[in-house]
Structure formats: C-alpha cells, structure tokens
Structure 1
Amino acid sequence: MRKWSALTAVSIGTFMLLVDVTIVTVALPAISRDFGTSLGGLQWVLDGYALALAAVLLASGALADGHGRKKVYLAGTVVFAAASLVCAVAPNAGLLIAARFLQGLGGAAMLATTVAILSVAYTGRDRGVAFGIWGAVNGAAAAAGPIAGGLLTEHFGWRWIFLVNLPVSLLALWFTIRGVTESHGRAPEAVRGVTESHGRASENHKLDLAGTVTFTLSAAAVTFALIRGGDAGWAAPSTLAAFAVSAAALVAFIVVERRTDHPMLDLHLFAKPSFSALMVAAVLAQASAFAYLPFTTVWLQQFLGKGPVDAGLVGALPMSAASFVGGALAGRFLQRVAPRWTIGIGLLLIGAGALMQARLTPASTGTALIPGLIVVGLGVAAVLPTMASAALAAVPHERSGMAGGAVNTFRQLGFALGVAVFGSVFAHRLEGRHAPTDAVNHVVAIAGFVALAAAVLVLLVVRTGRPAWEAPKPATEPAVSETV
C-alpha cells in the first residue's frame, strides 16, 4: 500500500480543498441569520475562496518548481488549516470572507502541486489509474461539499464545516511526509531545443508578481461587478466602474505576460485552437456543473423548508455518487478515447442533466432534481479528469505543467463567475415577484445551455490525440511542473 501513499496524500488534500468550494452552500442560510448578511455577501463567502484559488495557482506552481513540490504542498496545507480555524471563530462576515480568501491561497499551493506529484510518483498504467482516481475525487468532492456541510451545520453548527478541516489536514500532512518524494522543475539544459519564445518560463521558477496581481485584480473586479450589478443595477456607477477596472487590469495582465521573461501564463499557448477551446470549456464546465448548486440549496431550505442535511442529500448526493462511481470506472478507459469525444460527450451530459432539473413547478419537491443531478454527475466524471490530460496533450512537453495549471485556474474562475452570474439571475427573478421555482428554473436552464455550448465548442475545435500520459515522450523529458 505504500506504493499508493502519494496518491492517498494528494487525494485527501484535493478532496478537502475542493469540498471547501461548495461545503458552505448549505450553511449559507445559517450564516446569513448569524451575521445578517445579504445575498451579495453570501456570494462572497463562496467566491472569495474560489477567486483566491484561481488567482495564485500558476504562481504557486512556479514556486513549487523552484523550492520543491512537497515543501509547497506541506506549506499550503498548514496555511489552509490555519485559515480554517480563523473561519470557524470569525465574529463577523468580513473576517469570514477574508479567512476564506486565505484558505484559497493555501488551497492553491496544494492544488498547484498535485499533478506534478502524481506524475513523479507513477508511470505507465499506474499513472492512468492514479489520474482516474484523482479525477473521481475531484468530481465527488465538489458535489459532496453540500452533504458534509448539511450534516455538520444541522447537528453541530456551521462553524464545524471549517473545524473539521483540522484533523483532515493533519492526515494529509502525515501521508505527504510519509509517502511523497521531493521533486523540482528541471534545470534549463533539460529543455534544450525549445524555442526562445516558448521556453523561457520553463527555464526559471521566479514568481510573476505583476502577472499575479493584475490577474487577481481583473478576476476580482469582474466578479464584484457581476454581484454588484444584481444588487445595485447594471448601470450603477459602482458596477460600471468595476467592469472598467477589470478590463484595465486584464489589458495590463496581457501586456505584462507578453513582456516578462517569466510569465505565469504563456499567452503563446492560446495560439493553439485546441488549448484555447479547452480553457473556455474549463470555465463553462465548472460554472454549468456546480455554480447553480448554492441556489438550488437555497430553494430547498428557504422555500421548501428542508433542513441542511436533507438539502445536502437531495441537492448533491446523486451527483456526488454518480461522479465518483463514473470517475473510478472511467479511469480504466481514459487512454482509449480521444479527449474531445470524452469531454464533448461529458459536457452534453452536464447540459442535459441541468435542463432536466429546469422543469420545476410550484408543486415540485426536491426529488425532482435527482435524475438530472445523476446525469450531471456522469458528465462530470467524464469531463474533469480528461480536461487535464487533454490540456497537457495540446501543448509541448515543456509547457505541460503550465497548461495543467491553467485548467485548474480557469475551472475555479468559472465557479466564481458562475456563482456571481447565477446569483444575479436568481435575485432578479425573485425581486420580480416570480415564483421561487421560476428563479431556480432560469438559473439551471442557463447552466444547461452553457454546458451545451461548451460541448459544441470542444467537439468542433479540440483536436488533441491520446491523453498526455500516453503520448510519445521526448528523449529528455522535463518533469511535469506546476499543476493540473
């Protein structure tokens, strides 16, 4: 069993940090009662964490390449645990949101090293199995969050959704110390023959501070604008100002990345249609599969009178079970199918499952969501593990770590933006005196059409062949850097 210690360490940590993306969803009504927080404030409890994950994933990967993946993973776990403790004792919403952001920073350091750790620890068929299990953990974690949150909130109080991270963090630390071998990025000579424009960032492991700051500012500003637009109106000065700040920061990010010798994201990669399509699909897949769950949970609790446990079981368990089982089985077959078909069909399933849930009536009960959630879970099981390998296969080997890191960055950005957009739609429908079921139907229908659009994009544009671990390797193969 020691052979699988690295996979166990990564899976425990990944499950914990991804559960915390959604574990808060069923606790939102309780948090709102304790702190008197508005819907916009509640959205920031979710988005503060997701934005921090998205903002520093690639930068964390560069630090891990230079200072050691195991060290960075351990440090991230410690930061995550400390931030969880602050969340648990927070006396107000402001400190809770700040601590959630700090949680995201620690989670990013952990997530930034997962694929590199697995790639060093396993080869051949074992690597395929490891990625399949890791992908199943990814899918199950995001959907299992509301279940765990419901159980803890109803029986112990919402603060325990953060306290439970402390023993889990200790377990992740123990397995990491015991079973993970330290590794670094290859030296410059390991990437000889790479062109100057595409190779410079792989030869160095310096932190792209300017790129990290401008990317974070752009993502945070556009999220604020989307949330603020739902509260104050889309023509409000604060909303327009936030959009303007986001656009300016995005332009600054592009300028910085094009000029620096050590970009956190090489913009040349977007010249490859397959890579660009996969990044767009990563955003849309995460939004369409998971970002509507907070609002179905609110409907279940506030309008149907479900408790946190019932809301978590009805609103997430079917997806979690389908995702985990489907992902575990899919691990055996990932090598046999071209990624565009796996991802494209998976997105079609996500879209179909979401649209199946968008047929609620005032007489509907929570069980009406279950068939659609199962279909979405099967789609998630196909999409998530394959998305990472397809991104690696779409770029040169010396850029594999950066490509993998970009997948997770855009996935978390998709969740943050999805929560902001769906929150605005949900609030607008409720303010217009529509039935709560109508508000939920609109949110979930939009998610379904977003997934279908992403499926069409992938099927038409993505042209990668076999998964990355099956692709022919160069004579001198650089170690996978950064993250998936």
Structure 2
Amino acid sequence: MDQQRARWFGLIAISLGVALIVVDSTIVNVAVPYIVRDLDLSSTEVQWVQESYTLVFAATLLVFGVIADRIGRRRMLVIGATLFAIASVIAATSPSGPLLIGSRVLQGVGGAMVLPTSLSLINATFTGRERGIAFAVWGSTIGGMAAVGPLLGGWLTTAFSWRWAFGINLPICVAIVVGTLLFVRESRAERAGALDVVGALLVAAGFGAIVFGLIEGREYGWWATASRFAIGSWSWPFALSPIPVAFALGILVLGAFIVRGRARIRAGRANLVDFRLLRIRSFRNGNLVAVAVSLGEFGIILALPIWLQNVEGLTALQTGLVLLALAVGSFAASGAAAATSGKLQPITVVRIGLVLEIVGVALAGVAVQPDQGWGWLVPCLFVYGVGVGLATAQLTSVVLVDVPVQQSGAGSGITSTARQIGSALGVAVLGTVLYSGAQAVLQRRLDDAGLPRGASAPLVDAVVNSAGTAIAGLEANGATRAVAAAARAAFSDSTAFAAYTAAAFLVIGLLASFSLSPARTVRPEPTAGVDVPAA
C-alpha cells in the first residue's frame, strides 16, 4: 500500500482511539441507573465513577505527552490502548462500587496515553489542507462519539447488561492496536526533555483537591461540617468543613506548581509544562477558550440521561436514541467544517459553533419539563450537536496551528489537559448543580405540602442519593405517589439549572474567543512525519 493511502487508514486507527476515549467517558451515563441498582451506588459514588476517570485523565495527559515525545508516539498509543483494554475487563467484572471506580482510574491512565499522542501523530503526519481535514475528522469524532456512546451503551445495557458497556471496549482496542501498527508511522521528538515527576504530582494533587471539594461539598458541608469525614481511624476534628480546606489546598498547590515551573524554566531545567509555549498567542488564548468551552460542553450529558430514565421513564436504549440527535448534528457539522476549510477563518467557525451550542443547550433547559415529554429535546440536541462539531474541530486547529512539530507532544498534551480540566470541573460543577438543586427543590416542595421534616428528610435523601432511581418505587406506592411527583418536578428543575449553567460557561468561552485574532502568520510547513527544529 502506498504511503498516501496508508496515512488515511492510519487516521482511521487514530480516530478509533479518540472514539474509544470519548465513548467510554459518555457510555457510563445511560448505564448509571442500572449500575446504581446492581451495585447499590450513592449519588456521590455515581459522580466519582465519572470523575475518577476524567480527573486521572487530566492529571496525567501532560506526562504521557512528554513521554510519547521521547519513546515514540505510536508506541505510546499502542501501550495506552492495551492498558485501556485491561482496565475495561476489570470494570466489566467489578462486583462493587470501589472496584469499579478503581478500574475507571486505570482507564483514565490508558486514555491519557492515547489522546495526546493522537493529536501529535496527526500534527506530524499531515500538512497543509490535509492537516485541516484530519483535525476536522478528529474533532467531529469527539463530538459525534459523545452521543454515539450513550446510544451504544443504552443498547448494550438494555439488551444484555451494563457490564457489556465496558466489555465492548476490548475488540475496539484490538482494532486500534492492529491498525496503528500497520498504518501509522512512528514519530518522536529529536530533543525531548526530562520528565518532571514532582510537577505531575502537584498537578494531580491540586486538581484532585478541587474536584474533591466540588463533588463532596453536599456530603460534608460547604462551610460548616455537616457529616463525619474520616480516613481510617482518624476523623476530621474541626467545625470548619474539610471542603473549603480542600479548595484552598488545591489553589495553593497549583500556585506552587506554576511558581516552581517558571523557576525551573529560567534555570534551564525540564518542567511538566513548557511555559514558553504560552508565548505563542494563538496557543495561549486558544487554551483559555478551550477550558471555558469544555466547562459547559459535555457536562450536560451527565444530567440528561438521569432525567430521561428516572423522570420520563425511558429505557437506556431509548435514552441513547434521543441523544443520537446530538451525534447526527455533530456529523453533519463535520461535513460543513470540511467544506469551509480555507473559506472561513477557523476562529469564525468556532464562534458559529459556540453560538449554536449556547442556543441548543439553553433551549434544552426550557424543554426539560415533566409534563411535556422528551420530544422537544431532539431538535435542541441536534442544534447543540452541530455547534459541538463545528467548535471542537476548528478550536483544535486554532490552538495548535503555530506550535512547532517537534513540540507537538507537549503542545497537544497541554491542549488536551486544558480540555479535560474543563470537562472534569464542568462535570463536577454540573453534577453538584443537578443533585444539590434536586435536593433543595424537593425539600422545599415537601415542606410546602406540609410534610414534617422528620418524614420528608429520609425521602429526599433516598431520591437524591439514588440519583433518582428511587422515584419509580415511590410512584408505585399509593402512599408516596405525591412524593414521586414532587421528585420528578425537582429533578426536572435541577436538570434545567444544569443546562443553564452549561450555557453560561459556553457564553464565557464565546466571549473569550474574541481575544483570538482571525488572522495568522503562515509558517513553512514541515515535512510530514519528520520533526524539524522550531524557527
């Protein structure tokens, strides 16, 4: 097979790797009610099933981006897909919530090996207009798979078991490994820096503390201690909740990482983040936009499946079919993005996509009502999907366009980390809005109905801690049918709150995009697959 055709077959293998990462981060959402019933998970554990994956993913992306530059990007992608397959088998056979969360941590490590290397391999393999097309395929894969994941997970969960939602990863990983070894050329940096293990630990600890605070705030109290926090035999002894302490610690640790990193770079030593890349205006500002956009882009996919199944009574498969509208919109946008290549500035396409995302997700918040059904969600999700497809594909091109190829591993690692940090914080924030909103609204409705706190508080806890799966049981009992109606209304309101919060984050991303200039200085294209020194 000639090299020209092999590159495009290699792009298929690379895109499969991206699809695997995105599908696995979304496939869990439609299976959540089934996992809750099978493994008896609490709402906090539900969030950790998602966040353990995303947090580890974000914390290790930079490390594996640098390692891939040293040992070879193709090799790193193969190692990551293999590790992901092993973790998926563990997840599919998990008998308990803690083991499932642990397997998700391992999946996060494997995913962090795959995603940045996929970007750097595309950057090193394609040039010119072909690079724009390849990035469009990469970006539209992310947007489309965000909805195909729930559809596939819904079918597997309904027809077989939620465990197959993880088991399906095994044949996909095999296809990725085989396709990568056959069709993708190896590439590595000529001058790769040393590993910064301390920096990686600081990033993981800093963001871990912040995400812990966002998820556990409902449990332990946002300011004053609301329930006992213990590690082994040691218990938190203060009236001040551990949550504000976690936030402060996270900010201090991340501040120490930045100060330490800048000092190391001045001294000519290796650092986890090459802050010199941030001197590139398109790269610096593009990453700021990426963080803001990711805060709102996929977090809503956590809330909608819970509402569709536990409020509207849809099955996992039916939920996936509703969310398929997002995938259809994203794939339609991929064709539009390719057609506009060279005709519209990439940042213009990004802004069009963001506007469509804002409109789609805001209207979805309006459509989420317990008494008007789910039909109005379909056009909203289609518009949202078109926006995701446009914005995701072209934002990547904007961010990496001026990054030298020999630094593409580090650059794509920073870009991917920015996206994942935004996603992790977005899922944590929107999950907190969803559950805290449901708890507050349901408690208020039961208070207004005259139900004593002694009787209503356990019902509220049962509904919220079960992520809404207790609603069906309450509705089946004539004595608690009114409570079930109140719970359905509360989850509808809190899902709408989550949608509006996502829209607000996207508005911030849109406003931040105006810091990016539509013009750019064209630099000479390097030879595909060969790392060349920066000018």
TM-score by length of 1: 0.90
Equivalent residue for 2:11?
7
SS of the equivalent of 1:211 reads helix
Equivalent residue for 1:298?
306
Match of 1:417 among 411, 414, 425: 425
Q: By how many angstroms is 1:124 displaced?
A: 2.8
Equivalent residue for 2:352?
345
Q: How do residues 56-455 of structure 1 correspond to structure 2 at under 5 angstroms?
A: 56-186=60-190, 203-235=191-223, 236=225, 237-260=241-264, 261-270=269-278, 274-314=282-322, 316-359=323-366, 360-393=368-401, 395=403, 399-434=407-442, 435=489, 436-455=491-510
Equivalent residue for 2:457?
none
Match of 1:462 among 510, 516, 523: 516
Equivalent residue for 1:190?
none
Deviations 1:178-210 (A, max 9, x none): 101111113xxxxxxxxxxxxxxxx43322211
Mapped contact 1:185–1:478 kept (Cα < 8 A): no
Contiguous gaps of at least 5 residues in structure 2 = 226-240, 443-488
Do the aligned partners of residues 115 and 271 (structure 1) sit closer, same or farther apart at CA in structure 2, a change above 3 Å counting?
closer
Mapped contact 1:69–1:117 kept (Cα < 8 A): yes
In the aligned structure 1, how far is the partner of 2:248 from the partner of 2:530?
40
Match of 2:28 among 6, 24, 31: 24
Mapped contact 1:128–1:332 kept (Cα < 8 A): no
Residue range with higher mean Cα deviation, 303-312 or 203-212: 203-212
Do the aligned partners of residues 475 and 367 (structure 1) sit closer, same or farther apart at CA in structure 2, a change above 3 Å counting?
closer
Deviations 1:413-462 (A, max 9, x none): 11211111111111122112342211111110111121112101102x11
Mapped contact 1:351–1:450 kept (Cα < 8 A): no
In the aligned structure 1, how far is the partner of 2:49 from the partner of 2:88?
13
Match of 1:50 among 48, 54, 62: 54
In the aligned structure 1, how far is the partner of 2:53 from the partner of 2:151?
19
Counterpart of 2:131, as a letter, is R
Deviations 1:10-67 (A, max 9, x none): 0111111111111100011111112221111101111111112211112111111111
In the aligned structure 2, how far is the partner of 1:357 from the partner of 1:20?
24
Residue range with higher mean Cα deviation, 450-459 or 227-236: 227-236
Mapped contact 2:128–2:525 kept (Cα < 8 A): no
Counterpart of 1:353, as a letter, is G
Q: By how many angstroms is 1:328 displaced?
A: 3.2
Q: By how many angstroms is 1:325 displaced?
A: 2.0
Q: Which has the larger radius of gyration?
A: 2
In the aligned structure 1, how far is the partner of 2:157 from the partner of 2:525?
51
Q: By how many angstroms is 1:395 displaced?
A: 5.0
Residue range with higher mean Cα deviation, 38-47 or 267-276: 267-276
In the aligned structure 1, how far is the partner of 2:244 from the partner of 2:207?
15
In the aligned structure 1, how far is the partner of 2:430 from the partner of 2:345?
32
Do the aligned partners of residues 433 and 294 (structure 1) sit closer, same or farther apart at CA in structure 2, a change above 3 Å counting?
same
Do the aligned partners of residues 477 and 126 (structure 1) sit closer, same or farther apart at CA in structure 2, a change above 3 Å counting?
closer
Q: By how many angstroms is 1:250 displaced?
A: 0.5
Do the aligned partners of residues 397 and 162 (structure 1) sit closer, same or farther apart at CA in structure 2, a change above 3 Å counting?
closer
In the aligned structure 2, how far is the partner of 1:244 from the partner of 1:140?
37
In the aligned structure 2, how far is the partner of 1:321 from the partner of 1:141?
10
In the aligned structure 2, how far is the partner of 1:150 from the partner of 1:400?
36
Mapped contact 1:388–1:404 kept (Cα < 8 A): no
Mapped contact 2:54–2:424 kept (Cα < 8 A): yes
In the aligned structure 1, how far is the partner of 2:413 from the partner of 2:338?
21
In the aligned structure 2, how far is the partner of 1:277 from the partner of 1:92?
43
Do the aligned partners of residues 411 and 3 (structure 1) sit closer, same or farther apart at CA in structure 2, a change above 3 Å counting?
closer
Equivalent residue for 2:524?
473
Mapped contact 2:74–2:187 kept (Cα < 8 A): yes
| Paired positions, count | 460
Counterpart of 2:361, as a letter, is A
In the aligned structure 2, how far is the partner of 1:122 from the partner of 1:2?
12
In the aligned structure 2, how far is the partner of 1:475 from the partner of 1:299?
49
In the aligned structure 2, how far is the partner of 1:216 from the partner of 1:328?
37
Counterpart of 1:344, as a letter, is R
Q: By how many angstroms is 1:230 displaced?
A: 2.7
Deviations 1:96-145 (A, max 9, x none): 11111111111111112112222333333332222221221111112221
In the aligned structure 2, how far is the partner of 1:355 from the partner of 1:422?
14
Contiguous gaps of at least 5 residues in structure 1 = 187-202
Counterpart of 2:192, as a letter, is N
Q: Where do 4+ consecutive residues of structure 1 move more than 6 Å? A: 474-478
Mapped contact 1:132–1:330 kept (Cα < 8 A): yes
Do the aligned partners of residues 480 and 150 (structure 1) sit closer, same or farther apart at CA in structure 2, a change above 3 Å counting?
farther
In the aligned structure 2, how far is the partner of 1:474 from the partner of 1:381?
26
Equivalent residue for 2:460?
none
Counterpart of 1:369, as a letter, is L
In the aligned structure 1, how far is the partner of 2:76 from the partner of 2:405?
23
SS of the equivalent of 2:339 reads coil
Do the aligned partners of residues 397 and 335 (structure 1) sit closer, same or farther apart at CA in structure 2, a change above 3 Å counting?
farther
In the aligned structure 2, how far is the partner of 1:12 from the partner of 1:64?
19
In the aligned structure 1, how far is the partner of 2:170 from the partner of 2:412?
28
Percent of residue pairs bearing the same amino acid type: 34
